[in-house]
Each structure stands twice: as structure tokens, then as C-alpha cells.
A and B are shown apart, each in its own frame.
Chain A
Amino acid sequence: MQALLSFDQAPPFAAPARFFVTAPLFAMLAGALILSTGPELFVSRWTAAALATTHLLSLGFLSQVMIGAMMQILPVVAGANLSRPLAVARMVHLTLVCGTLLLVLGFLTFNRLAFTSAAWTLGVGLATFVGTAGRALFKVSSNNPTIDGLKLSLLGLIGTVVLGLLLALSLSESWPLPLPQLTALHFGWGVIGWGFSLLLAVALVVVPMFQLTPAYPKWLAQTFCPLSLLLLVLQTIANLAGWSTVADVLASSLALGVALFAMETFRLQRRSARARFDASQQFWRLAMVCMLAACVLWLGLLWLPMLADQPIGPMLCGVLIFVGGFMSVMSGMLYKIVPFLVWLHLQNLCRAGEMAPNMNKVIGAKQIEWQLRVHLGALAFLLAAALSPSWFAYPAGAALLVANGGLLHNMLSALLFYRRHAARLMAAREDGASR
């Protein structure tokens, strides 16, 4: 077997792995925060604990996974090599971890210094990531929708970060800015501009590749990412200009776009060549169900005043988007990406004629299926807690903690599998060389 990768070009396994191991820790912290706060957290999305939990999940879990995955995906899918990938990964990871913790501390204590420090730490870390990834990506000619989508998702991340920094600095410096309006824009840019754009760009490759389905149709692949970002920009302008009906129509179009993507993914999954869905496919299916439900609810909140007046709606929508949608799909992707990377890096250590262990042995199928079931339980409890906090807040916190403990266990077992086999292969290499 030939040598696979040249390590000066491909990011070493340690670059993305640190993000994948840290992500579940933040979701576990979110579970612990729900447990320590109790039903009060679910009263409104504006409570300090709810804002802290949202950021533990969105920044702590989702952005960790998204940035780690992007570092790996750029060279493999787009041929875009990051310069000094390990150094960048270390710096971005450290600032993201510290910045998220500082932001959460800011929400929980309303300490001005915490908000200012969080803003600068996250700003520097994310700017480094955007700069490095952007430089690598914009050197590559756009010959497919995934590369275009990755570029656009970086623009979405810039929008999210700028709005987030404005909000954090407003809280610390008491700037007279319209916080609810900025929060709505920050949420829209985070969910659509960064999250959905990246999901779409990556789905175009990973769904057909790992789920053995036909490709997404051209009309969707080529138009959805640019169209979503264009609608988001127009929605932002309408929102800032105070044209609320136009802004609501544009927000509804975005929700319909997400719903269409979810339905198209269902259609592709039905045509999968795999006879029995594996756990990763089940994670994707769950995510698409939740995204569809979130879109319906979102439209209801926009157009039905009786729903818009209830605090339950945004809470349910948040759980469906962050835990049901993004966390499910990221978990499903991790269970494909991590074993593949372990295999790839082990294969690179193999001598001529030697084969790395089978990719399916990296994380046991039963371990993944168990974690899927616990994740499903956590989602159900969180939705129930949004409806009836006094009954379900504590089970929801505990279930989120256990589910992500399971994900952490699975990520660590993949890492240990890699270390064990890498040590064995290195020893065999040295043994062969000394003879």
C-alpha cells in the first residue's frame, strides 16, 4: 500500500480531534447548568441561564464541531490547504474554549469585564480562523457548489461574529443599541448564514458519499447557498430599516428554503443503496424531522400573533434547531468523519502491503446506537421541559449530560483506538528499519 498523505500538507489528526473531543464537554456543561438552574431556565429565552445555555450549545458544541470539521474538510473536499494547520488549530481552539467560558460567565454574572474579555478572545480566535480558512479557500477556483458554499459560510460566520461582538460590547459598555433587534439578527446570521450554509455545503458531499444516495439535484446544489445568503442580507436590511412585513416575508422564504432542503434530504435517503440505515443516517433523519418542525413553528411565530405572544414558541424552536437539528446532524457526521480520519492517518503509518484496521471497528456500532437513543431521549425531555418546565427541566438536564457523556466516550474511544494502533504500527516500522 502506498503512503497516503504528506503531513506538511494535510492537517495532523490532532488538529481537528481537539475540537471534536471538547464539543461534548460544552454540551455536558449545558446539561449541568440546566440541572443547577432548574425550571426557571425555561421561563424565557431572555433569562441569563437560557442565554448561557444557548451559547454553550451554539458556540461551545456546534461551532467547535463545525470549525474542527472545516479544518479537515477544506483540504479533503476542496483541495484548500491551511497554512500551519496545527498551530492555527491550537490557537483557535484555545480562544474558542476560553471565549465561550468567559461569555457564559458574563451571562451568569453580568460582569462587564467578562463580556469585554469574551468579545476580544472570541473575536481574535474566530478572525484567525476566518483569515486562515478564507486565504486557503479563496486560492482555490470555484468549480463546484461545495467550495462556493464553504466560502459563503465563512461570510455567514463573519456576520454572526460581528453582530455577536456588538452585542457583547453593548452589554459591557452600556452602548445604547437595540439589543432585541440585534439579537434577532445575530440569531438569523448564526443559524442561516453560518450553520445552514455550512451544513448545506457539506451535505452536498457527505450525504451521497457516506449514505450512498444519488447527488442532490443541481437546482438545489447551485442556488441554495447563494440564495440563502442573499435573502439573509435583504432580511437584515429590511429589519434595520423597520420594514417589518418585508422582513417577515424574507424570513419566511428562508424557513421554506430550509424545509425544502430537509425534504430533499429525506427523498435522497429513501433512495440510499444501503438496505438498513446505520446510526449516522438515523441522526440525519432525526435532524431533518426537527428542522422541518422548527420551520413550521418559525412560520407560526412569524404570522400567528397568538403564538408569537407565548414564550414557549421561541424556546421550542431553539431546542428543535440547536439540539434536534444541528446537534443531531453534527453527531451523525462525527460518527463518519472521525473513524474515516482515524483510518486515513493509521493507513499512512502502514508499511508496504499492510492495511489499517477496518474503519467500522474504530467506534463500535452498538456504542453509537446507544448514544443515538440517549440523544433522542435528551431531545424529547428538552422539548417537554419547554412545555412544562417544572416537570421536565431536571430530567432534561440530566439526559443532555448523559447523552453528551456518551458522545465524549465515543470520541475518546476513537482517539484511544488511534493511539493504540499508531503505537503498534510505529513500533513495527522501527522494528523493520532496525533489521
Chain B
Amino acid sequence: MSGADADIFIDARGLEPPEPMVLTLEALDRLAAGQTLLVLLPREPYPLYRTLQINGFIWETRFRDDGAVEVLINHQSL
């Protein structure tokens, strides 16, 4: 999935912590059932996984050839 296909897309590369986490959590608040959030990051976001798990989201992580990491997020109920 590309950024254009996701309902909400965040390119968090080049942002200083905790900005990527803040933007992602704010987007999760807005994410409606059935919608997808795609976050592009410079590395694998381990703390985010725990956050997603305890807040009822599912995710899929893809490693791009340029070293960036894509995390595709949905509500668990789907």
C-alpha cells in the first residue's frame, strides 16, 4: 500500500522523538473503523507495537529497500 491509498498517511522520517509517536497517536484517535493508517518511519517502532496492542489495533510491518519501515494499522475488530 502506498501513502496515497491509506486513509491517513504519516511520513515521520526526519522528525525528532517524540514527534512521530505524538502524530501517530493523534491519528489513531481519528482513525475510524474500517480505515487504515500508514506510518513511514526510519526504524522499527517497538514501543508503538505495545501501544497498538493494548489499545486494540492490528498492524503489519514492511521493511523497504531504502531502510525505511512501513507500519500499516487497522482497528482489531475488522
Q: Do A and B bind each other?
A: yes
Do B17 and A2 touch across chains, with their CB atoms under 8 A apart? no
Complex interface bits, B19-53 against A, C-beta within 8 A gives 1, otherwise 0: 00110011011000000000000111011011101
CB-CB nearest in chain B for A6: B54
Q: Tell me the bound Cα distance from A352 to B16 in angstroms.
A: 23
Complex Cα–Cα for A5 and B51 (A): 6
- Report yes or no: B49 in contact with A79, Cβ–Cβ below 8 A: yes
| Closest chain A residue to B26, Cβ basis | A1
Interface hit among A205-213, A306-314, A401-409: A205-213
Binds B, one of A47-55, A70-78, A232-240, A283-291: A70-78
Per the bound structure, the CA–CA distance linking A10 and B50 in Å amounts to: 9
28 A-B pairs in the complex with CB atoms less than 8 angstroms apart: A1-B26, A1-B29, A2-B25, A2-B55, A3-B51, A3-B55, A5-B50, A6-B53, A6-B54, A10-B47, A75-B46, A75-B47, A77-B43, A78-B46, A79-B44, A208-B42, A209-B16, A209-B17, A209-B43, A212-B14, A273-B14, A343-B18, A344-B18, A344-B47, A347-B25, A352-B29, A353-B29, A359-B17
Within 8 A of B (CB), among A331-363: 340, 343-344, 347, 352-353, 355, 359
Q: Given A3-B54, A79-B49, A340-B18, verify A215-B26 contact (CB < 8 Å).
A: no
CA distance A3 to B51 in the complex (A): 6
User: B42, A209: Cβ atoms under 8 Å?
Assistant: yes
Known A-B contacts A209-B17, A344-B18; A5 and B47 likewise in contact (beta carbons under 8 Å) = yes
Interface: A111 (CB within 8 A)? no
A4 within 8 A of B: yes
Knowing A2-B25, A2-B29, A215-B67, the reply to whether A210 touches B16 (Cβ < 8 A) is yes
Assembly CA distance A9 to B47 (angstroms): 10
Instruction: Say whether B16 contacts A212, CB under 8 Å.
Output: yes
Contact, CB under 8 Å: A205 / B43: yes
For B29, what are the chain A residues with a Cβ–Cβ distance below 8 Å? 1-2, 352-353
Sample of 15 more A-B contacts, CB < 8 Å, known A5-B47, A209-B16, A344-B21: A2-B28, A2-B29, A2-B55, A3-B51, A4-B25, A4-B47, A6-B50, A6-B53, A76-B47, A78-B46, A208-B42, A209-B42, A209-B43, A212-B14, A273-B14
With A1-B29, A2-B29, A215-B42 known to touch, is A359 a contact of B50 (CB < 8 Å)? Answer: no
Known: A209-B17, A212-B16, A340-B18. A77 touches B51 (CB 8 A): no
Q: Which residue of B lies closest to A350 (CB)?
A: B25
Name the distance in Å between B5's Cβ and chain A's nearest Cβ. 23
Minimum-distance CB pairs A-B, first 10 = A79-B46, A2-B55, A6-B54, A1-B25, A2-B25, A4-B51, A2-B28, A76-B47, A343-B18, A6-B50
Given known pairs A1-B29, A2-B25, the reply for A9 and B16 (CB within 8 Å) is no
The smallest C-beta distance from B29 to any residue of chain A, in angstroms, reads: 6
**Please, how many angstroms separate the alpha-carbon atoms of A353 and B42 in the complex?**
27
Closest to B19 in A: A359
Min C-beta distance of B6 to chain A, whole Å: 18
With a CB–CB cut-off of 8 A, which chain A residues contact B55? 2-3
Residue of B nearest to A359 (CB): B18
Q: Which residue of A lies closest to B15 (CB)?
A: A212
Distance between B69 CB and nearest chain A CB, rounded to angstroms: 10
Q: Which of A49-97 contact B (CB under 8 A)?
A: 75-79
With the chains together, A210 CA to B16 CA distance in Å? 6
Closest to A348 in B: B51
Whole-angstrom CA separation of A210 from B43 in the bound complex: 13
User: Could you say which of B17, B22, B28 has the most chain A C-beta atoms within 10 Å of its C-beta?
Assistant: B17
Q: Choose one: B46, B49, B67; the contact of A77 (CB below 8 Å).
A: B46
CA–CA, A77 and B49, complex, Å: 12
* Shortest distance from the beta carbon of A422 to any chain B beta carbon, whole Å: 17
Closest to A80 in B: B46
| Nearest opposing residue in chain B for A5, CB measure | B50
CB of A7 to closest CB in B, whole Å = 10
Residues of B within 8 Å of A352, CB to CB, are: 29
A143 to B67, CA, bound (A): 12
Chain A residues whose CB sits within 8 angstroms of the CB of B54 once the complex forms? 3, 6
Residue of A nearest to B57 (CB): A2
Bound state CA distance, A344 and B18, in angstroms? Answer: 8
State in angstroms the CA–CA spacing of A75 and B54 once bound together: 16
Please tell me if the beta carbons of A340 and B50 are within 8 angstroms of each other in the complex: no
What separation, in Å, do the CA atoms of A2 and B17 have in the docked complex? 17
